[in-house]
Amino acid sequence: MANLKEIRNRISSVSSTMQITSAMKMVSAAKLKKAQDAITAMRPYSDKLTELLQSLSATLDADSGSKFSEQRAVKKVLLVPITSNRGLAGAFNSNIIKEVSKLSKETYANQEVSYLVIGKKANDAFKKTNKVIANKSEVYDDLTFDNVAEIAEMLMEKFVEGEFDKIEIVYNKFKNAATQIVMTEQFLPIVPFESDSNVSLDYIFEPSKVEIVEQLIPKSLKTQLFKSIRDSFASEHGARMTAMHKATDNATELRDQLKLTYNKARQAAITNEILEIVGGAEALNN
């Protein structure tokens, strides 16, 4: 009977785990809806802002370039990995950490690489390298444009002052609840815009194009970072919902297997007891 008790304990443990994973799945599903609506609503604005900036920049002279567009010899690189503060989201965080490690060891093997991390999981992964210049994981406590804009301003300042020659963002782009795409986007310097001869620029600009671009670039960079974090935030809940769904299914399957094993063992124990009783009765009769 000790074996039966052990199986009962395992069934109880698996059932408790299944309840937890099921609850986490429902919580992530609720949060995913809000996060998905936010990034879906933001993308058209971000794309239109980029399109407008591209149209204006394509008409400017080379001498009118922004300080954020300065192309320098790349000696110092800053990578900005965006992960979550919590785990239990499948490969969501590990994919970002692997991609950033790959960039450090392969793409920028001959450059000095530093990190500005967003998310505790990224900080845990890279703090041992002693190359983390800042940890902005607290941004998730109040994910607003103003709070993200402060991080973007910090990045812009470090680039303009020459602390880094190139800054790249690595994050998960939200596609759907089951699919997240690892993206590596150049934040600074701004990628030169290619002129499109089909773009119509029959506008009257007030103030000048140069002034408009100078005002649009910081706003565009802040929006780009905010969109990346929003994408990652939605991807996190999608990944966690999917992971918890699979965990719940696995726990359900394991519980059913344990119940079957328990019933077989219990049936065998009852059969043995019956045989012992029958054998004892036969011995008395003889």
Q: Locate 53 and state its tokens.
A: 């900036």
d(CA 117, CA 114): 10
Positive or negative CA dihedral for 234, 247, 84, 131?
negative
pLDDT at residue 215, as a whole number: 82
Residue 231: name the closest of 154, 143, 166 by CA.
143
What pLDDT does residue 277 have?
A: 85
How confident is the chain (286 residues) per 10-residue block, as mean pLDDT?
Answer: 80 92 91 89 84 66 65 93 93 95 94 96 93 94 94 94 95 91 91 57 68 83 93 94 93 93 88 84 76
Question: How far apart are the C-alpha atoms of 225 and 115, rounded to whole Å?
Answer: 15
Whether the CA torsion 110, 114, 120, 126 is positive or negative: it is positive
Domain boundary assignment for the chain: 38-193+200-243
Residue pair 28/247 in contact (Cβ under 8 Å)? The answer is: no
Q: Which CATH number fits domain 38-193+200-243: 3.40.50.2300, 3.50.50.60, 3.40.1380.10, 3.20.20.70?
A: 3.40.1380.10
pLDDT for residue 113? 96
What predicted TM-score, i.e. pTM, was given to this entire model?
0.83
- Residue 189, pLDDT score: 87
Question: Beta strands of 56-178 (E only): which ranges?
Answer: 76-81, 112-117, 132-135, 166-176
